[in-house]
């Protein structure tokens, strides 16, 4: 599998083309990060926009026949992503695939070496189709209370993902190196998902890594206000009660925020020019 023309760190094998890029069908796999949680938009399928929708919109400009599917579902662990999304993604015959998986597992103190070993096989299957495959490192959470405890585990995960990408000729989007994402304004109120500004920054990084000209503009966050110890601790306690506590309770009960949800764009469809699909709906149970 060869990276697309103009991809960062990769040669341009075609020199130049009258087309903006070589891709006509993009399929996104993953969890809440790829579904777009933290970036609410009632006008799009599933009610969340996110970086992948933004990337698809830019890729679809002026490219006849371009289509996009998003199979990601919030809360999914990497094994669930492989089991539920890999075969449907391959069946859609994409020529561009993004895969982000394992973040929820790292957060739950999963083994980053085992995660990479299993994802290596999945990436190999995707690369074997001839599609351009895009992987991600995790963003740096070193400045986030509580989550900073997994920073070392994240670093191991990131190095493993770089190795997986190298083995299969995949493209790596290095979110750890995107220092803008360490700013508080890049994160939603729950501190677990990116805000609209954060998703915009990720979309820009993906497009830049692919070497694609685009019309997106990065947010330039102001310096955060200085907080004294007491207000900062009060904010942390409020966050723990409102967001961290419910997240922990779902883990204890074996529940997920994505239970009973289907992908927001299960079929590859045009980004422009036709009504978009209706979005996520409850799964039917036997």
Please, are residues 220 and 183 in contact by the beta-carbon 8 Å criterion?
no
Beta strands in 75-120 (DSSP E): 96-99
Dist. CA 187–CA 193, nearest whole Å: 6
How far apart are alpha carbons 5 and 182 in whole angstroms?
30
In the structure encoding, which two tokens stand for residue 284, read together?
A: 């039917």
Task: Report the pLDDT value the prediction gives residue 109, as an integer from 0 to 100.
Answer: 86
Pair type for strands 171-173 and 132-136: parallel
Q: What is the pLDDT along the chain (286 residues), one digit of tens a residue?
A: 545 555 654 434 344 333 579 999 999 999 999 999 999 999 998 899 999 999 999 999 989 899 999 999 999 999 999 999 999 999 999 999 999 999 999 988 899 999 999 999 999 999 999 999 999 999 988 766 656 778 899 999 999 999 999 999 999 999 999 999 988 889 888 878 899 999 999 999 999 999 999 989 987 766 555 655 555 555 555 555 665 555 555 555 666 565 678 999 999 999 875 544 445 443 333 3
- Quick check: 176 and 139 in contact, CB under 8 A? yes
pLDDT in the model for residue 13: 38
The pLDDT of residue 3 is 53
Nearest to 103 by CA among 27, 189, 39, 31: 31
Phi, psi of 278 (to 5 degrees): -70, -20
Alpha-carbon distances, residue 198 vs 17, 79, 92, 205 (angstroms): 32, 26, 29, 11
Assign domain 25-224+256-270 one CATH number from 3.40.50.1110, 3.90.1150.10, 3.90.950.20, 3.40.50.150.
3.40.50.1110
Structure tokens at 227: 């907080």
Q: Residue 114 is inside which H or E element, if any?
A: helix 112-128
Scan for tokens 């299957």, then name that residue. Answer: 125
Instruction: Provide the residue ranges of all domains of the chain, joining segments of one domain with +.
Output: 25-224+256-270
pTM for the full predicted model:
0.81
For residue 149, what are its two tokens?
Answer: 């405890």
């Amino acid at each position: 599998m060869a990276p697309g023309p103009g991809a960062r760190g990769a040669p341009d094998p075609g020199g130049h083309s009258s087309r903006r890029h070589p891709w006509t069908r993009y399929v996104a796999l993953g969890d809440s990060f790829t579904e777009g949680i933290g970036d609410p938009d009632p006008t799009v399928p599933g009610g969340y926009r996110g970086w992948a929708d933004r990337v698809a919109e830019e890729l679809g400009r002026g490219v006849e026949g371009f289509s996009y599917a998003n199979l990601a579902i919030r809360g999914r662990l990497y094994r669930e992503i492989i089991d539920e999304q890999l075969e449907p993604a391959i069946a859609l015959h994409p020529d561009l695939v993004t895969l982000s998986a394992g973040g929820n597992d790292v957060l739950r103190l999963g083994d980053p070496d085992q995660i990479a070993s299993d994802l290596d096989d999945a990436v190999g299957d995707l690369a074997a189709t001839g599609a351009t495959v895009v992987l991600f490192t995790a963003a740096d959470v070193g400045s986030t209370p509580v989550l900073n405890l997994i920073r070392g585990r994240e670093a191991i995960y990131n190095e493993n993902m770089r190795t997986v990408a190298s083995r299969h000729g995949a493209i790596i989007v290095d979110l750890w190196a995107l220092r803008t994402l360490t700013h508080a304004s890049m994160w939603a109120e729950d501190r677990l998902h990116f805000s609209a500004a954060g998703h915009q920054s990720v979309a820009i990084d993906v497009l830049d890594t692919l070497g694609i000209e685009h019309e997106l503009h990065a947010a330039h966050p102001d310096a955060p206000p200085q907080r004294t110890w007491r207000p900062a601790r009060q904010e942390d306690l409020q966050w723990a009660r409102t967001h961290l506590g419910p997240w922990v309770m779902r883990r204890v009960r074996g529940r997920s925020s994505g239970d009973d949800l289907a992908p927001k764009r299960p079929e590859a469809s045009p980004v422009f020019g036709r009504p978009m699909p209706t979005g996520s709906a409850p799964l039917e149970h036997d």
